[in-house]
């Protein structure tokens, strides 16, 4: 047996010596970040408008729901989307931020409905909906609230509650002071509250670790409120269009396929997508705008702007030049396709006007100056199957198609879920974890201290520390293993979970 306590003494001594040396080289703590736009951080409360919250709730719970025990699934509501392998994306942040104190509150739209353990009558023993998450941070504490409807485990009693304090957020070391135009939090640890445990139908106990929370929100200056974009595409003085003839404003929304998006950003393809030429990301869908064409009593021919490109391992697929044709209650969405000729990576192919999906357009309706159909079921065509390199067969259910054509210059097109500014596209946020700000300052100040090579010494020290920690962890492994079995207070969803999310095919 390896010695345990005797091995600790030299390791602790080594760590202490190294930490002492590093403390000499480390720069002095930096003050909290200030406004990126130069505004006085003591200014009043400002409006939060637009943004996203990415949260898996509890990944092992997802696996339990879709696994062989519960044999269930989940569905998205209110425009919620998925991102990566196990996170849900909520959208359209609305709230407030106080630059002086760092107080922050934002409510997000969208929800997730979990069901499992189907009963003979078609109902489910497991039935849980989590929607409208709201994050509040103030006074060094953070909480995530949500609307919840759940069926109690065992009794089947259904409970509905609004804005339940579901998760406590560990915001220690996070400083949200500053008057910039963006607030972001990344991978904030979350634990289940007592109220959350009750609303979670008793599947987990208070204190259970939930998935970390990541959010990004846009903060408006006072002057920006009046300049907020309008959903109306009209221009002043235009005359009303008649229901027949040409139009110059329309949009088509299509998410391609939810599991395909998960496949692209997940652990297999490890990829992403990029939008260009006016295409917009609505989280659970992509919008192709600026449609132009003709409409006559339910028949439509339209061309739209926007390009969508998916890239990843053995994947490079671009869709552009989107067109929609509707006749006799049947719609076809086509696109110019450039991408992989086959799933094994046999080269790129290009084709124009490929009919990708057909959809039910029989419900197209003229109302409030729009001719529109919402979430029409769509199926993959034979040509679409070839465009996707054989990943799917002809007739596969794809994401629904939504279409809106402006027949009146004053008509407002349907709003798109507002994801806010992508974190990578904005200027550095004043709302960064304090530890991150200190790290950045350390890097920048290193060049001004030529008398001491901070980076090389720190790197060398890190190598030695890593070796020492590795030795220490070896002596701890058996003891840690014996304790791991009692980590989860209610292990049934944990111990029976599998990585299957209910759809192995992308």
Decide if pLDDT at 89 tops 90: yes
Sign, Cα dihedral of 225, 227, 228, 234: positive
- Per-residue pLDDT reduced to its tens digit, 270-286: 999 999 999 999 888 99
pLDDT at 340: 59
Decide if pLDDT at 96 tops 80: yes
Q: Distance between CA atoms of 65 and 75, rounded to whole angstroms?
A: 12
pLDDT at 224: 54
Closest by CA to 315, choosing from 341, 347, 340, 338, is 340
Q: Which of 331-335, 401-405, 456-460 has the lowest mean pLDDT?
A: 456-460
CA distances in angstroms from 484 to 166, 473, 480, listed in the order given: 25, 15, 6
317-322 CB contacts, 8 Å cutoff, 24+ apart? 317/387, 317/388, 317/389, 319/256, 319/356, 320/277, 321/352, 321/353, 322/252, 322/288
- Cβ atoms of 50 and 419 closer than 8 Å: yes
Decide if pLDDT at 188 tops 90: yes
- Per-residue pLDDT reduced to its tens digit, 385-425: 999 988 999 999 999 999 999 998 888 898 888 888 876 54
Q: Any idea where the domains of the chain sit in the sequence?
A: 46-226+426-439, 244-406
Which residue shows structure tokens 């209650």? Answer: 329
pLDDT at 244: 55
Q: Distance between CA atoms of 259 and 265, rounded to whole angstroms?
A: 10
pLDDT at 385: 93
Rounded to the nearest 5°, which phi and psi values hold at 436? -70, -40
Question: What's the mean per-residue pLDDT of the chain?
Answer: 76
- Per-residue pLDDT reduced to its tens digit, 150-182: 998 778 889 999 999 999 999 998 999 987 899
Decide if pLDDT at 99 tops 50: yes
pLDDT at 70: 93
Q: How many residues does the chain have?
A: 506
* pLDDT more than 90, % of the chain: 52
Helix (H, G, I), strand (E, B) or coil at 40: coil
Beta strands (DSSP E) in 44-200 are: 46-55, 73-77, 81-83, 87-97, 104-109, 111-118, 124-138, 141-151, 158-169, 182-192
Q: Which of 3-12, 38-47, 348-357 has the lowest mean pLDDT?
A: 3-12
The number of angstroms, rounded, from the C-alpha of 208 to the middle of its chain's C-alpha atoms is: 23
Instruction: Give, rounded to a whole angstrom, the gap between the first and last alpha carbons of the chain.
Output: 47
Q: Which of 59-73, 162-176, 334-348 has the lowest mean pLDDT?
A: 334-348
pLDDT at 446: 32
Decide if pLDDT at 497 tops 50: no
pLDDT, average across residues 115-135: 95
Q: Distance between CA atoms of 21 and 24, rounded to whole angstroms?
A: 5
Sequence-distant (6+) residues with CB within 8 A of 241 are 247, 406, 407, 408, 409
pLDDT, average across residues 71-89: 88
Decide if pLDDT at 300 tops 90: yes
């Amino acid at each position: 047996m390896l010695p345990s306590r005797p091995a600790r003494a030299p390791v602790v001594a080594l760590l202490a010596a190294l930490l002492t040396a590093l403390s000499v080289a480390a720069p002095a703590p930096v003050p909290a970040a200030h406004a990126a736009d130069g505004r006085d951080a003591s200014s009043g409360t400002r409006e939060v408008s637009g943004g996203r919250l990415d949260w898996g709730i509890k990944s092992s719970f997802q696996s339990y729901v879709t696994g062989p025990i519960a044999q269930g699934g989940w569905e998205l509501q209110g425009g919620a989307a998925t991102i990566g392998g196990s996170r849900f994306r909520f959208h359209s942040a609305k709230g407030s931020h106080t630059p002086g104190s760092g107080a922050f509150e934002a409510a997000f739209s969208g929800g997730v409905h979990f069901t499992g353990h189907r009963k003979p009558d078609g109902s489910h023993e497991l039935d849980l909906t989590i929607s409208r998450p709201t994050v509040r941070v103030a006074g060094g504490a953070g909480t995530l609230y949500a609307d919840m409807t759940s069926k109690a485990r065992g009794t089947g009693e259904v409970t509905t509650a609004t804005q339940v304090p579901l998760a406590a957020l560990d915001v220690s070391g996070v400083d949200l002071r500053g008057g910039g135009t963006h607030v972001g939090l990344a991978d904030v640890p979350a634990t289940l509250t007592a109220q959350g445990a009750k609303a979670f139908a008793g599947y987990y106990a208070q204190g259970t670790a939930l998935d970390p929370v990541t959010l990004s929100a846009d903060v408006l200056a006072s002057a920006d409120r009046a300049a907020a974009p309008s959903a109306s595409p009209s221009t002043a003085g235009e005359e009303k269009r008649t229901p027949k003839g040409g139009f110059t404003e329309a949009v088509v929304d299509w998410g391609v396929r939810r599991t395909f998006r998960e496949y692209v950003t997940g652990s297999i393809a490890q990829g992403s997508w990029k939008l260009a030429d006016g295409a917009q990301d609505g989280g659970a869908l992509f919008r192709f705008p600026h449609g132009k064409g003709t409409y006559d009593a339910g028949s439509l021919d339209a061309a739209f702007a926007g390009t969508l490109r998916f890239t990843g391992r053995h994947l490079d697929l671009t869709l552009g030049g989107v067109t929609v044709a509707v006749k006799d209650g049947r719609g076809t969405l086509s696109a110019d396709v450039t991408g992989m000729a086959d799933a094994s990576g046999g080269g790129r192919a290009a084709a124009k006007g490929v009919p990708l999906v057909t959809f039910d357009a029989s419900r197209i309706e003229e109302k409030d100056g729009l001719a529109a159909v919402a979430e029409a079921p769509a199926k993959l065509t034979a040509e679409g199957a070839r465009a996707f390199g054989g990943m799917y067969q002809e007739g596969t259910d794809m994401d629904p198609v939504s279409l809106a054509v402006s027949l009146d210059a004053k008509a407002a097109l349907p709003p798109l879920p507002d994801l806010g500014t992508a974190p990578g596209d904005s200027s550095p946020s004043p709302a960064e974890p304090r530890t991150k700000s200190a790290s950045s300052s350390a890097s920048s100040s290193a060049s001004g201290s030529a008398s001491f090579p901070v980076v090389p010494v720190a790197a060398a020290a890190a190598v030695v520390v890593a070796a020492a920690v590795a030795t220490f962890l070896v002596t701890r492994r058996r003891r840690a293993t014996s304790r791991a079995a009692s980590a989860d207070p209610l292990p049934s969803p944990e111990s029976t979970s599998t990585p299957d999310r209910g759809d192995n095919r992308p």
